[in-house]
């Protein structure tokens, strides 16, 4: 899906936990996330900390969208 | 004759520990055969014995790849095996990646014959088919009866140092290894036969399949986030509560387009996941954990991004055919372009 959206000319960032799959699929901008059932959250954290974690991850995704890449890139 | 010692690797599901709610379990080892090991043992016959089965939760493996690999490898090594067999993983993505990773590690670190099996569209197949032998299986567990004899036969051949035939003879996924051999018929005759078959609409097999390099060049970066609309897309199955369009929990046949108008935060009352391939407890309690609407709304209000697109797009990426996913995304992209969306955040579970 990432690849088809990219092919249509829309910059796309893929946020996922198992980044090797994302590499295999062919995503160009990849942001690693927390865990498979809760990529952008952590149920073990109090609400405010979980939200802060999600902001940090979305920030990374936004940064990736603003970064020029020539090849598949994982934004750690 | 001494029997070959075999160690078999399976996931928590095939070990009957549990489904997605138990996918977090760390590696363990059990004596003898477990689950699909029975079919593989039957196919191995008297020549080899599954002495132990190593089991690991799919999410544990996927989320701790380096660590899990080392732990599983240690358990395998402790049995001094002559042969290693993993799976088959069919079309289970995390399981396929785990089976491929371990099979590759065993081959590399222990230097013993190692074989796995999975469906051709499993991401683990693309990752490891050139590195290890992967028997081609169906996409569902019903294919174990057909896969087990092929996996056992190939493993025994490797252990006995017998010559390995071509992929279509042995049943493994083509691994880009070419061997020279003499055909009985000369090239011109074969070409004419192929052409005749093609003209007659009959099946024929090319001798030179074109390589499949489907890569897309990255688009230029977004210059100014505050001037664009960002859309959220997910393969994590987030849907309005009740799953109004009945998106399937696996092998999805459709995607959904849903309004975000008026939603500043996704809650257990408004949204849930339709995905059947991960433990839904966390996403059902708070779908922002998969689709971060809350944070993007904040950023929209703060002017950090121009706008959060007022619709999100969703499907279930669980055993869904690559061709289906491609079709969904082509249509989604068309709609996004029509609405002048400037960038996409796509989340996967």
Subunit contact B59:A35, Cβ cutoff 8 A: yes
Handedness of CA B35, B36, B42, B44 (dihedral sign): negative
Phi-psi label, residue B93: left if phi above 0, alpha if psi -120 to 50, beta otherwise: alpha
Min Cα separation A43/chain B (Å):
7
Cα distance between residue B55 and residue B58, in whole Å? 9
Handedness of CA B149, B151, B152, B153 (dihedral sign): positive
Distances (CA, A) of B267 to B14, B264, B285, B287: 33, 10, 7, 6
Question: pLDDT, tens digit, for every residue of B251-289?
Answer: 999 999 999 999 999 999 999 999 999 999 999 999 999
Which among B214, B212, B13, B4 is positioned nearest to B99, based on CA atoms?
B13
Min Cα separation A46/chain B (Å):
13
What's the mean per-residue pLDDT of chain B? 94
Q: Is B168 exposed, middle or buried (0-12, 13-18, 19+ CB in 10 A)?
A: exposed
Reported confidence tier of residue B211, pLDDT bands at 50, 70, 90: low
Looking up tokens 């052409």, which residue turns up? B195
Cα distance between residue A49 and residue A51, in whole Å? 5
The continuous run of DSSP H or E covering A31 comes out as strand A29-32
Our count of domains for chain A comes to 1
Min Cα separation B218/chain A (Å):
6
The continuous run of DSSP H or E covering B347 comes out as strand B343-347
Distances (CA, A) of A62 to A20, A56, A66: 21, 10, 6
**Residue to test with chain A: of B230, B303, B333, B341, most A Cβ within 10 A:** B333
- ipTM, interface predicted TM-score of the complex: 0.98
Question: pLDDT, tens digit, for every residue of A19-46?
Answer: 999 998 899 999 999 999 999 999 999 9
Question: pLDDT, tens digit, for every residue of B216-246?
Answer: 999 999 999 999 999 999 999 999 999 999 9
Subunit contact A28:B282, Cβ cutoff 8 A: no
Which among B76, B83, B82, B78 is positioned nearest to B98, based on CA atoms?
B76
Q: How many CB pairs under 8 A join A and B?
A: 188
Min Cα separation A60/chain B (Å):
11
Question: B4-170: which CATH topology?
Answer: Rossmann fold (3.40.50)
Task: Please give the residue of chain A at the shortest CA–CA distance from B222.
Answer: A66
The pLDDT of residue B196 is 95
* pLDDT of B98 higher than 70: yes
Across the interface, of B127, B328, B346, the residue whose CB is closest to A14 is B346
Cα distance between residue B341 and residue B309, in whole Å? 7
Handedness of CA A60, A62, A67, A73 (dihedral sign): positive
Quick check: bond before B88 cis, omega within 30? yes
Across the interface, of A15, A17, A66, the residue whose CB is closest to B221 is A66
* pLDDT of B212 higher than 70: no
A3-17, B112-126, B147-161, B165-179: least confidently modelled range: B165-179
Cα distance between residue B343 and residue A62, in whole Å? 9
Subunit contact B343:A57, Cβ cutoff 8 A: no
Task: Please give the residue of chain B at the shortest CA–CA distance from A68.
Answer: B221
Min Cα separation A59/chain B (Å):
10
* pLDDT of B145 higher than 70: yes
pLDDT more than 90, % of chain B: 88
* pLDDT of B177 higher than 90: no
Q: Which residues of A touch B127 (CB under 8 A)?
A: 20-21, 24
The pLDDT of residue B1 is 66
Q: Which residues of B touch A10 (CB under 8 A)?
A: 219, 333, 336-337, 341-344
Subunit contact B62:A18, Cβ cutoff 8 A: yes
Q: What single string gives the DSSP state of each residue in B210-246?
A: PP-----PPPPPPS-GGGSEEEEEESB-EEETT-TT-
Name the residue range of residue A23's domain: 2-74
What is chain B's alpha carbon radius of gyration, rounded to the nearest angstrom? 24
The pLDDT of residue B191 is 93
* pLDDT of B189 higher than 70: yes
The continuous run of DSSP H or E covering A7 comes out as helix A2-7
Across the interface, of A1, A4, A18, the residue whose CB is closest to B94 is A18
Domain-by-domain residue ranges, chain B? 4-170, 225-347
The continuous run of DSSP H or E covering B145 comes out as helix B144-159
Question: pLDDT, tens digit, for every residue of B300-348?
Answer: 999 999 999 999 999 999 988 888 999 999 999 999 999 999 999 999 9
Subunit contact A65:B236, Cβ cutoff 8 A: no
Across the interface, of A15, A51, A55, the residue whose CB is closest to B347 is A15
Distances (CA, A) of B238 to A59, B27, B242: 21, 30, 11
């Amino acid at each position: 899906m990432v690849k088809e959206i990219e092919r249509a000319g829309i910059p796309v960032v893929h946020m996922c936990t198992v980044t090797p799959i994302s590499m295999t699929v062919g995503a160009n901008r990849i942001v690693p996330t927390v865990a498979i059932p809760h990529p952008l959250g952590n149920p073990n954290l109090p609400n405010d900390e979980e939200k802060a974690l999600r902001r940090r991850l979305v920030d990374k995704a936004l940064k990736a969208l603003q970064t020029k890449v020539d090849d598949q890139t994982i934004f750690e | 004759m001494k029997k070959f010692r075999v160690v078999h690797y399976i996931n928590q599901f095939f070990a009957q520990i549990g489904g997605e709610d138990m996918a977090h379990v760390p590696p363990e080892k059990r004596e003898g055969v477990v689950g699909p090991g029975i079919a593989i043992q039957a196919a191995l016959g008297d020549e080899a014995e599954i002495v132990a089965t190593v089991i690991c939760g799919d999410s544990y493996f996927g989320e701790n790849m380096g660590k899990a690999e080392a732990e599983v490898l240690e358990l395998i090594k402790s049995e001094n095996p002559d042969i290693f067999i993993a799976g088959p993983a069919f079309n289970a993505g995390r399981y396929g990646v785990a089976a491929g990773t371990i099979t590759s590690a065993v081959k590399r670190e222990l230097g013993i014959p190692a074989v796995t099996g999975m469906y051709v569209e499993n991401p683990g197949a693309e990752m490891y088919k050139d590195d290890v032998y992967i028997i081609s299986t169906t996409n569902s567990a019903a294919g174990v009866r057909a896969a087990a004899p092929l996996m056992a036969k190939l493993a025994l051949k490797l252990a006995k140092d017998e010559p390995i035939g071509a992929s279509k003879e042995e049943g493994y996924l083509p691994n880009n290894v070419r061997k020279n051999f003499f055909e009985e018929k000369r090239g011109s005759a074969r070409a004419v036969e192929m052409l005749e078959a093609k003209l007659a609409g009959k099946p024929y097999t090319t001798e030179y399949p074109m390589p499949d390099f489907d890569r897309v060049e990255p688009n230029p970066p977004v210059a100014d986030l505050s001037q664009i609309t960002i859309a959220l897309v997910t393969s994590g199955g987030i849907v309005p509560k009740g799953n109004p369009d009945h998106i399937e929990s696996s092998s999805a046949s459709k995607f959904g387009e849903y309004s975000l108008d008026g939603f500043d935060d996704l809650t257990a009352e408004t949204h849930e996941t339709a995905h059947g391939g991960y433990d839904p407890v966390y996403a059902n309690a708070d779908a922002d954990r998969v689709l971060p609407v809350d944070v993007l709304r904040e950023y929209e209000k703060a002017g950090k991004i121009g706008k959060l697109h007022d619709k999100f797009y969703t499907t279930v990426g669980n055993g869904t055919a690559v061709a289906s996913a491609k079709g969904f995304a082509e249509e989604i992209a068309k709609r996004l372009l029509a609405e002048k969306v400037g960038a996409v955040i796509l989340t996967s579970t």
